[in-house]
Every structure is written in structure tokens, then in C-alpha cells.
Chains A and B, each alone.
Chain A
Amino acid sequence: MKADHCEADHCQADRHTADRRTADPRGVLTGTHFIDGDHACCEGALAAGARFAAGYPITPSTEVVERFAARVPKVGGTFIQMEDELAASIALQGAVWGGAKAFTVTSGPGFSLMMEHIGYAVMTETPCVFVDVQRGGPSTGLPTLPAQADMMQARWGSHGDYEIIALCPNSPQECFDLTITAFNLAEEFRVPVMFMMDEVVGHMTEKVVIPPADEIEITPRRHTRKSVEDYLPYGTNGDGVPEMAHAGEGYNFHVTGLTHDERGYPNMTPPVQDKLVRRLQSKIRNAADRICLFEEEQLEGAEVVVVSYGITSRVAQRAIESAREKGLRVGKLRLITAWPFPEKKIRELAAKVKAFVVPELNLGQMVHEVQRAADGQAKTFAVSHAGGGVHKPEDILKVIVEASKCRIV
């Protein structure tokens, strides 16, 4: 960080820029690879500094931890296969408090079992990553076939009010790049980050370029440098994210899933609940502009905008191009961050376009968010799919054509 860029107001926000480091080269497999999304995700985790994973086998995600189990003893870390997903999703949090960067990997049925511990990570502000390689549901559903039907579960699956971050890669390269982003965001905001892959992206093999370690930026843990006397485990400054200590460092801190005060002590009163839960929410919402990543194309002058994410964005690309060949003015907005939802971006677009078309491998999830953010300024069209395959581009095209004919009331 250059000192002349640090104005007083920004010092707090820039603290982490100042602390940014580059990846430990021992975890980085620099080079050009031909690997699938699951393997790329594993390499992203290793590059990000993950040295602990706990998992339980489940298709189509298991390749991530299989690779991790083979790689991690050579870089100084641990993989443990736990007895179930409940155990995996809390063992990783124990590891985080022991000083590791940690994650777990699963798919729908296992993701369902992990919900309680997503809430625990939110409440205790345990930085960690949950990878969900989505398959068709409900229940056992389609173990080997894709869906994008866990998007609302990722956002709302645990009880209570909270915010998480969720990212949606659409290629093996992004499985690598965005896994690193996921770990960085987890550390910056002390929040569990959901890495929402899908079966196709997980099993699709493409070129993945892994850069040299010194070109990979890593957000370190917000480890406290305060003295034992001065340290308040859940005390915060301007950005609402507390500093962390690890077990065994002499801080004698307490961590609980109960509503707690700045000391980390249980305090189950409405004022403390209000302060805590609002802070857990606002630390993410206030930074939404920075967290929300998206890819946009030809939005200027567009009448219809196709909003998609994950594998569906690649099918939608074909439909968008076909529509443009027909002379339609179609823009593309690909959500890379699904949560927090980029509602500001949608709201801005809604004032300018006639309609949004939202294809997704579910019967309508993120489309409701688009509709909410559009707030009646533009129409919203879902292109649903129950999962088990991907859309046919012509099915999306048909809705784009229909949407382009609509009139704004």
C-alpha cells in the first residue's frame, strides 16, 4: 500500500490491503493444467493457504477432498474423513480456532446436514469455506447430475437472521481463482463463504492456469496483536469485524453459539441480541459493493438483460448470441457473487431495460431476487429447469424473444 493513498477515513478499510500477502509457494502448483473443476477447486484451496479439510464422501464433490488428501501431507496439513457431514462441518471450525485455514466439501444432502454449523460459523465469526457441488434434489435426487437448486439454501438454510457470502464459478479456471477469493473473503469478513459449484462445472475438464505464488494475493487472518488485557474477542472498530485469537495463545477467550457480548460471554437479552445480529448482518451488507462480483457484456442500450450464473451462464451465452443475430438488443449479467445479492446493480439496470431473463437449473430461486430488486421497474422472466442436465439454448432464446416484446406498464 502506498502511504499517500491512505486518507484518514480509509485507514481502517485499508488495513487489510496493508496486510495482504502472497501465497505460500509450497501450496501453489504453478503451471498450465488440464483438470476438472473439482480438482481446480482443491488447488485453489491449497493456494489460498487451506491446510485442513474435513469431509464425508458425496458425489459429485468427492474429487476435491480426494485430491486434497493426496496433496496436503506434502505441504504440511491435514485431511480427515469424518463420520458424517455434521462432524465434518464442525471439525473444520475447530481447526480454524486452532490456527488453520479450513474448508469442507459436499453436495446437496450433505449440505443439508451442514446447515446448523453454517449458523455456528456465522455466530462465532469463524472464517471458513463450504464448497457445495450442486446436484439435483430434493433428497437423494440426482447424485451424478447437475442442478442449481441449493442457492436459497445457501442463503437461508440455517435458522435465524444472518448474512453469508456465496460465489458461483462457471469454469475450472474460476474454480481455482474464486476458491482463493472465497478464502480471502472469509478471512476479511470472518464469515463462512459458500462456494456454489454445480456438477457440470465440477466435472468439466478445461485448461487451468495457476500463476506463480507471488502473483496470488492472500488475505491473512485478522489475528489480534493486542495484549491479553486489552483484547476483546468480539469487540469491533469501524468495519464491524472483530480480531481473532487462536487457542493456545494465552488469551483464555470464550466462544459460544449463544448470543454474546463483546467479551464473548453469553448475554441473552434483547439489546445484546439486537446489537450482535445487526452487526453480523451489516458487516456484509455495508461491504456489498466490494463483495459483489459480476461479469457484464453489452448492457449499454440493452432492452433485455439475461441474468445467469454457474454452468447456466455458458448455455445462456449461446442464446444471447443467437438473439443478437436476430437483431435483439440483449445484455448479459453473469453473477459471480450470488450472496450478498447485487441488488444495486439490478436496480440500476431495471430503470433502463424492459426485462430480465433469468435461466437457472431450478424451478425459480435467484429469479425472485432479481424480481425483488427490479421492484416493478422491469419485467422478470424465469427460465426454469428441474435439473439433471442443462438448458437447451433455444429454450432460453424463446424467452428472450418473448421478453423483448413485452411492454413496461
Chain B
Amino acid sequence: MSDSLVTEITNAGNPVDAILRTDRMPHIWCPGCGIGTTVNSFARALIDSKIDLGSLALVSGIGCTGRVAGYVKLDSFHTTHGRAIPFATGLKLANPNLNVVVYSGDGDLSAIGGNHLIHAARRNIDLKVICVNNLIYAMTGGQTAPTTPGHSTTSTNPYGTFEPSFNLPHLVEAAGAVYVARWTTFHVRQLARSISEAFKKNGFSFIEVISPCPTLYQRRNKLGDALDTMKYYKEKSKIRNGSPTGEAGLTMTGEIIVGKFVDRDRPDYGTMMRAQYADALGDEYVEQDQREHDQTENDQAEMVCS
């Protein structure tokens, strides 16, 4: 490549730079890690769907994927381990006008945060959850997660795992999610499209992204490098939109069922709450937005006075 071409490409920047905190690059993720790929799809979805970035907040938990919050140029919260969803719940309820995205890993969301995951889905709180599933606890060195497929070698199951693993789409569908999809980091466009679709849903949406951890999962299980994993995703993924989630369990080297599994509607938590209060309290019910509006007017009035 000629020097001038390199300069030209560098100067052009990345098409998703507007979404990124470029002053925080380089990021901490390993070569071959899929998390950055998911962020690229996420950023493209934001650009494509013309979401108002000013009213979008992103909440992460702890772990490799938890670091996404630090790299996006949005109001972003890097919370505690497992608690991104309840933090996001409070944020959404306090300001219903916000679009709130939860972006975290499989261990964070389904192990330590598993209770919050099912209850948020049950409540149908209007959150968009992006779960990057690398089948392992990566940040801490490759320990077994609830998502680790059977017979995998991990640092805490050096002789192979034997616990059954969670099938996350099945779990969240059963708990009540209105939108459930799964892709791999090979499916960058489909992933971006799913994220855009989730923004149009009103309720608990869950998108699982199967992603390689070449450093700790693929290497330890002799599954090759990141490129080999892309080939595996390409060859073994089967797009089955509408597939019963119960049939979408993962194994170490078998088929990966991907697609949009669930797309249904039921009233979200905020809608149900407002309807119930209005029904029970009638004119006595004061909607939060009204209060905020009044408060703003008061503030302005005060500023004028002073």
C-alpha cells in the first residue's frame, strides 16, 4: 500500500467515529476479540436508524463487554458486576424519554445478574439488552460461565465442564421478552439490523451475539484462532428466523441457530404502570413527565427572577 493511500485512509477516519470516544483508543480488547465488532454493528445501527444520540444512554456491567460503556460517546454508565439491568431500570423510570441500552457480557447478565435479567424481562421494562456471549469469563482468565458449553476446558474446569449451560434466548423468551434475536460476530449486518429493530420495540428486547475469545476459550479448547472461529461461525450458523428458542441451545463445535426468534407485543412496564395509576387514582394521579415539565418551568421562572 502506498504511503499516500495510508494517509488518505487514516485521515478519512472510521465511519462510526461519531459514536466512539476516539480519545480513549486503543481499547483493551485482545486481537481477534469479537466485542469491537459488535460495537461497530451497534454504532452502524445508531447511525442507520437515526436515533437521537442525545437521549440515548448506555449501561454496562463488569467484564470485557462491560468496557463498552467507556468507549461510546454517549451518556454511559459502567456499573457494578451484574447490576447493569437494575441500574438501567432506575434510569429509565426516572426519565422515560431516554432510550436505554444495556450492553454487557454473558457472565455479567446471566450469572451474577441472572435474577435481574429474568425480572426485567418479566416486567417488560423498556430496555434494549445486547449480550455479548463469549462462552466464558474472559476478563478474569477464562473461568466457566453459565453459558459455557459442555465438555469445554476452562481454567476452573480443567478436566472439562459438565454443568448444563443456559440457552439465553430460551430463558428470556420464557421470562417475557418481546424481542429476542441471536447472531454471531460473523453476522455484522444482521446484527445491526436487529439492533435497529429493537429500537422500534417498546419493551424488553434481548440480542445475543456469539463472539470469540481467542485468548481464553478458542485457544484452550484447541478451536483455532479468530479467523478459524469466523469460518466456524460462517459454516455452522443456520439462520432460522422464528425458530423455537428451545431448539437453539449451543454446543462447543455444533450448529449455531441464529436469527430473530421472538418479535411480539405486550405493554411495557411504564405503560402498565401509568394505566394502573390512572385507573385507580383518576385525577389524583400526577404523571412524572408533567411534574418535570412544571419543574422546568419553575426553574426558568426562578432564573428570570434572579
Contacts and interface: CB of A to CB of B under 8 A. Distances in A.
B89 A77 contact: no
Given A73-B285, A248-B97, A254 B59 contact: no
Given A52-B93, A91-B90, A97 B77 contact: yes
B91 A94 contact: yes
B80 A99 contact: no
Contacts of A248: 54-55, 57, 75, 95, 97-98
Interface centre among A92, A249, A252 (most CB of B within 10 A): A252
B79 interface: yes
B277 interface: yes
A337 to B, nearest CB: 28
Nearest to A76: B291
Interface in B65-80: 69-70, 73-80
Interface in B45-102: 53-55, 57, 59, 69-70, 73-80, 82-83, 86-95, 97-98
A256 B94 contact: no
B1 interface: no
Interface string A251-273: 11111111000000110000000
B288 interface: yes
A185 interface: no
B78 A93 contact: no
B54 to A, nearest CB: 5
B79 A120 contact: yes
A74 B59 contact: no
A91 B92 CA distance: 10
A75 B75 contact: no
Interface string A30-55: 00000000000000000000011010
Contact of A257 (B73, B80, B86): B80
A257 B59 CA distance: 12
B79 A257 contact: yes
B300 to A, nearest CB: 13
Given A120-B79, A257-B79, A258-B78, A75 B90 contact: no
A52 B273 CA distance: 14
Contacts of A258: 78
A78 interface: yes
A74 B282 CA distance: 10
A82 B86 CA distance: 8
Given A54-B90, A76-B287, A94-B90, A257 B83 contact: no
A95 B96 CA distance: 10
Nearest to B306: A18
A252 B73 contact: yes
Interface centre among B69, B70, B273 (most CB of A within 10 A): B70
Overall SS of chain A's interface:
mixed
A86 interface: yes
Contact of B89 (A94, A96, A97): A94
A117 interface: yes
A243 B73 CA distance: 20
Contacts of A249: 54, 75
A6 interface: no
Given A90-B83, A254-B76, A98 B93 contact: yes
B95 A92 contact: no
B171 to A, nearest CB: 15
Interface centre among A80, A87, A120 (most CB of B within 10 A): A87
A266 B70 contact: yes
B281 A52 contact: no
Contacts, number: 156
A369 to B, nearest CB: 29
Contacts of B93: 52, 78, 80, 91, 94-95, 98
A128 to B, nearest CB: 10
A83 B98 CA distance: 23
A256 B69 contact: yes
A99 B94 contact: yes
Contact of B87 (A94, A100, A116, A252): A94
Interface string A315-351: 0000000000000000000000000000000000000
B197 interface: no
Contact of B54 (A80, A117, A250): A250
B286 interface: yes
Contacts of A247: 57, 75, 77, 91, 95, 98
A300 interface: no
A255 B76 contact: yes
B87 A77 contact: no
A283 interface: no
A246 interface: yes
A88 B87 CA distance: 9
Nearest to A245: B75
Contacts of A87: 83, 86, 89, 115-116, 119
Interface string B275-303: 00100010011111011100100000010
9 contacts: A24-B295, A73-B284, A74-B281, A87-B119, A91-B93, A99-B94, A252-B73, A254-B76, A254-B78
A-B complex: 6 closest residue pairs judged by Cβ atoms: A76-B291, A94-B90, A98-B94, A91-B90, A94-B91, A87-B86
Interface of B: 21, 24, 53-55, 57, 59, 69-70, 73-80, 82-83, 86-95, 97-98, 115-116, 119, 273, 277, 281, 284-288, 290-292, 295, 302
Given A248-B97, A257-B79, 5 more contacts: A74-B281, A86-B82, A87-B89, A249-B75, A256-B78
